[in-house]
Structure 1
Amino acid sequence: MELGTSFSASGVNKKMLLSNPITQKSNVLPNSWLNQLNFSFPARKICSCRGIAKGSTISSLKTQEKLTRKELHSSGCFCGTTFDLPSCSKCSMGIDNVTGMSSNHSQDLELSSLTALCPLDGRYWGKVKELAPFMSEYGLIRFRILVEIKWLIKMSQIPQIVEVPSFSEEAQTFLHDLIDGFSMNDALEVKKIERVTNHDVKAVLEFFHFACTSEDINNLAHALMLKGALNMVILPVMDELIKAICDMATTHSSVPMLSRTHGQPASPTTLGKEMAIFAYRLSRERKEISQIEMLGKFAGAVGNYNAHVAAYPEINWPEIAEEFVLSLGLEFNPYVPQIETHDYMAKLFHSIVQFNNILVDFDRDLWGYISLGYFKQTTKAGEIGSSTMPHKVNPIDFENSEGNLGVANGDLSHLSTKLPISRWQRDLTDSTVLRNMGVGLGHSLLAYRSALQGIQKLQVNEAALIEDLDKTWEVLAEPIQTVMRRYGVPEPYEKLKELTRGRAVNKESIRKFIQKLDIPADAKTSLLNLTPHTYVGAAAELAKNVNEAIFLLSSPYLLK
């Protein structure tokens, strides 16, 4: 709001508000944010491209039909013309370029799920679209408007600002309706205004913007975007994933399994206990993520309230700013330059990277267990594992998860190392980088869902687990040596080394060795009763108790 712009005492001047294109509501309000995202492809993209290129029209895109008319046949060009070598008679595209696309052809392509540069907005849209209301440009615009309107309402409650009198209940309801009813059409109107002003914050509600630098609005919008995306999408899917792994742990808590260190047979464990490790690790990191405070600033151009104090020196502006930021459900950062310094974002993205790293470890272990035959994978009719080897059922879900985690971590790692750094009181390098938050979160979400899908296909192959244990009686060298030490048998390690290293060890050879030991009869009996299948220590109990351990670790879960 410009200083001097006044509002009637009865409330907001609705005519003035409605004259602004972004406040004109569509006739039919959508039932949810997500439903609005079907209206137009560009504005709901998760990836960082800003939706609508200069000169493009905003319309319903039907590129798929156009592309099918341009299919490449064995003797044809992308333009649809059949030709004899070496070039196309219509567009002169040579045979060397037949697998590419000339500039003339690329000009015909409009943005759609088939032409999106980012696969999150194309191939994988159906698996990540829940993030779009928060992490898309639509989400950014909506949260900016929320902040602007909330700030106007806050100013109306400050007695010293007589230019904005206290709003009536009707006026406040009207303003809140602008937030609650914000639609895709409204976001598109903002984009139209931006093409004129070339400033995407100024395009929102230019005369509500009293004493605010753009970053006052943006930093709060970004914090609200992240908080919404985490609480409503990312954390619930993390919980679903952790629960699925916990279920594996408890269901298979007593299923014995040969462990491997350095790729070689080691002391037996249980399948459930190995799953419990991942469930607990992921839960610890999930707790870290949930406890990170989202910060906000509202201190003007360089963090000193310069314009605020010049206009209304009698007002305690730091106190007003803190009240406003806290009212949005964020924590207040009192010491800032022009930007909120993004330290909380760095911590958040680092923690998500660590969660993702643990899941990469899980994906690779499950991939390995499938390779060993410890798990079978259920298949669906019509699915193809290999184009040439019909017998194969590949662990594609865990491979997809691992691959997307790598992409996510690359993006999130850059965000976490770059965002805390800004020259002097501010440079603009963070602005373009922040538009990629949805990319890192989107690929993370896709990875979590791929891992979940992989888990749902698994069936334990206990026969393979038993077979491996039957072939590795040498793992009992550890308990035998330990009992020998207890009863003072000389050189226990050397004697077991002579028995096991480089030699075939089986049930008979182990039993003969035990029979010769000079130890108490009850200790000897215990060793004779031991097998690779029963030598699992407390593994089964650890697996059975994992849910309780995670509950004690993780409560409470919700973000502040």
Structure 2
Amino acid sequence: MIQEIGLFQQPAFAPFHLISLNYGVIKWGFGVARRERLCFIDNSRVFWKTQEERKRIVMADKTLNLMLPGNPRYQPKELIPFFGYDNLMRGLAEVEIANLKALGKIGVIGKGDIDLLTPELISRLMAITTTQVDEVERQITKHDVRAWVRLAQEILPPELARWTHVPLTSYDPLDTGRILVYYRAYLTVLKPAIFEVMGLLMKLVEEQAQTVQIGRTHGQHALPITVGFWLATILSRIVYNAYELEHSAEKLVGKISGAVGAYNAQVGLGLTTRSEEENALTYEETVLELLGLKAAPISTQILPPEPLEHFLHACFMMSAAFGQLGDDCRHLMRSELNEVAEAFEPGQVGSSTMAQKRNPINFENLKAMWKKNVGEYVKVLLTLHSEHQRDLTDSAVMRDFPTILVNLMTQLNTLRRKNQSGAPFLARLSFNNEALKRNLGMNAHVILAEPIYIALQMAGYPDDAHELVNRKLVPRAQKENLPLAEILRHYAQTESDPYIGEAYGRIPAEVKEMLACPEKYTGDAAKKALEVVSLAQESVCELSGEA
């Protein structure tokens, strides 16, 4: 079924993601952001009403500033409809439109007048760009929201123009509009991308659940694990943060509470009473219901910072998990380790001068985006205080908050990026079994010191078995380059200490066999890896509403 779509009506943003991917028609996705009434969607195909209209819209969109916040190098096109510069006023516009509808709903604006708010007028209000607002602000109002109101009043008929922004304060539409955009960016772009990456990582964990790898702590060989176990530790973090993102997104709230948050105009001028009489809701609830939001329990001129801070913190922590994956893989790609390899594409160059290089650029990008987000998240922490009922020292800082989502989306796109054959980057990750075996074998003769000392202690060795292994057995194994289990056996047979021989004799045969084979000392690594895969599968079902 083909249906006309609007920008902020659920599932409003889905088609714009598709349009922005259509490089052949709209370069850099600039066609995603304007005149949405001219677009139709049928499953995954996008149509314009006529070819002439398509040309006109594309040409018009080329004049828009759709730059995302942050470095111009990192511009995930999926987020342009939300945070592209000239789209930043659309959230505000939707709140202002809902406010007009609410005034009509409670009878402040007469039915004949509110009926003048046609879909065409709404579309024109939604199309007011940030650049237009900037121009009016600089030249006339010196106030961004009043600049938008002025532009809106030029579009609306007089019967509606006079009611624009009544009884709001600036941060009613600004804060609430931003919340709408954050929520929808998460729901329609970030969330599906996270699920896609989780699916790719789940497959890797399953495939490598049994592949033995030397575990490392403090940069040193520690105990054997499996590749799947290592990857599962990261997948588990992603699952945790996916829940945190979902929960924090669902707790995002709006406000229509006026200049100090006390509903002064709404109560003093009778809007609250009229609203409660008409539909048993406060005026704030009436407006926010039209937007699909709940109201903050209390607010000042601005929203309380915690809900958005928690949402951005969840984004930040998700970014950290991907940064961990990048950092681990970057180290494991070191020439001397060589356990992991990035896919190297035809025509790709590793170094401008060292032609032999194969650098871990994608994994380095994952970590770099997290580093960028560390700096961005500090800005969030700096906005947790606002003097009395509001000061303006946070306004400029908060404009940078979407950069956290931009950096996170850049990480997701790195992991999902397809080659010419359509295979995502993460699916093209390869593991060098020869190097894995070589690195495990490098210290295989001593890495089972832990089970040897514990086995001796459990077999009744009366002294400190750790001291025995640490001070006597390990140095000898290293000097003679012999397996620690063999050194233990020889020590038990030849040394005068009767306790060691007795304890060694009581160690079960199957344990002795394990002590001679590091590959068998992986504990529950494979089992835990597969448990995390099951947990991840359950989380995707639950968070997508399929549970």
Report the Cα offset of residue 464 of structure 1: 0.8
Q: Give 3-state SS (helix, strand or coil) of 2:89's partner.
A: helix
Distance 1:284 1:26 in 2: 39
How far 1:218 sits from its partner (Å)?
A: 0.9
Cα distance in 2 for residues equivalent to 1:27 and 1:349? 29
Q: Is residue 211–residue 228 contact of structure 2 (8 Å, CA) maintained in 1? A: yes
Pairs within 5 Å for 1:385-464: 385-415=350-380, 417-452=381-416, 455-464=426-435
2:449 pairs with 1:499: no
Shift of 1:392: 1.1
The CA deviation at 1:345 is 1.5
Residue 315 of structure 1: aligned partner:
274
d(CA) in 1 for partners of 2:142, 2:529: 58
- Deviation at residue 500 of structure 1 after TM alignment: 0.7
Distance 1:334 1:262, change over 3 A: closer
The code of the aligned residue for 1:531 comes to C
Label 1:355 to 1:504 Cα distance change in 2 as closer, same or farther (>3 A): farther
- CA-to-aligned-CA distance 1:121-170 (integer Å, 9 cap, x gap): xx333xx12111112333332222211112211221114x2x433778xx
Contact 1:144 1:221 in 2 (8 A): yes
Match of 2:387, as an amino acid?
R
Query: How do 1:90-489 residues align onto structure 2 when only pairs under 5 Å count?
Result: 119-120=71-72, 123-125=73-75, 128-159=76-107, 161=108, 163-165=109-111, 171=115, 175-179=118-122, 193-194=136-137, 195-202=139-146, 203-204=148-149, 205-206=152-153, 207=162, 208-292=164-248, 293-312=251-270, 314-315=273-274, 319-371=282-334, 372-415=337-380, 417-452=381-416, 455-472=426-443, 473-489=445-461
CA shift in 2, pair 1:487/1:136, >3 Å: same
Show CA shifts across 1:152-201 (max 9, x none).
11221114x2x433778xx38x6345446767576665555544444332
2:529 alignment counterpart: 543
* d(CA) in 2 for partners of 1:124, 1:201: 29
Structure with the higher helix share, 1 or 2: 2
Q: Secondary structure at the match of 1:295?
A: coil
Q: What residue ranges of structure 2 are gaps of 5+ in the alignment?
A: 1-33, 48-53, 154-161, 418-424, 493-500
Contact 1:404-1:446 at 8 Å conserved across structures = yes
- Shift of the alpha carbon at 1:487? 1.7
1:314-364 deviation digits (Å, cap 9, x = unpaired): 436772212322431222113211111222112222222222223222211
Structure 1 gap ranges (5+): 1-24, 48-117
Q: Higher relative CO (CA 8 A, sep ≥ 6), structure 1 or 2?
A: 1
CA-to-aligned-CA distance 1:193-252 (integer Å, 9 cap, x gap): 544444332324343221111111111111011111111122222222333222221110
Q: Give the deviation of 1:264 after TM superposition.
A: 1.6
> What's the secondary structure of 2:324's corresponding residue?
helix
Q: Any conservation in 1 of the 2:275–2:286 contact (CA below 8 Å)?
A: no
Shift of 1:398: 1.0
Give the 3-state SS of the residue equivalent to 2:221 in structure 1.
Answer: strand
SS of the counterpart of 1:337?
Answer: coil
Aligned AA (2:82): F
CA gap of 1:332–1:166, structure 2 versus 1, over 3 A, is: farther
- 2-structure distance, mates of 1:535, 1:27: 60
Is the Cα–Cα contact under 8 Å of residues 248 and 272 in structure 1 kept in the other structure? yes
Query: What fraction of aligned residue pairs are identical, expressed as a percent?
Result: 25
What SS is found at the alignment partner of 1:259?
strand
Rounded to whole Å, the distance in 1 between the matches of 2:192 and 2:207 is 22
- Asked if the contact 2:452/2:485 (under 8 Å) is kept, the reply is no
Shift of 1:547: 1.9
SS in structure 2 at match of 1:219: helix
1:136·1:438 contact (CA, 8 Å) conserved in 2? Answer: no
Deviation at 1:451, TM superposition (A): 4.3
Name the count of aligned residue pairs.
455
Task: Say what the alpha-carbon RMSD is for the aligned residues.
Answer: 3.1
Residue 431 (structure 1) shift: 2.1
Which residue number corresponds to residue 38 of structure 2? 29
Cα distance 1:166–1:183, how it changes in 2: closer, same or farther (>3 A)? closer
> How many Å separate the matches in 1 of 2:528 and 2:113?
60
The answer on 1:46 being equivalent to 2:68 is: yes
Q: 1:312 to 1:27 in 2, by over 3 A?
A: closer
8 Å Cα contact 2:342/2:428 also seen in 1: yes
**Could you tell which deviates more after superposition, 383-392 or 250-259?**
383-392
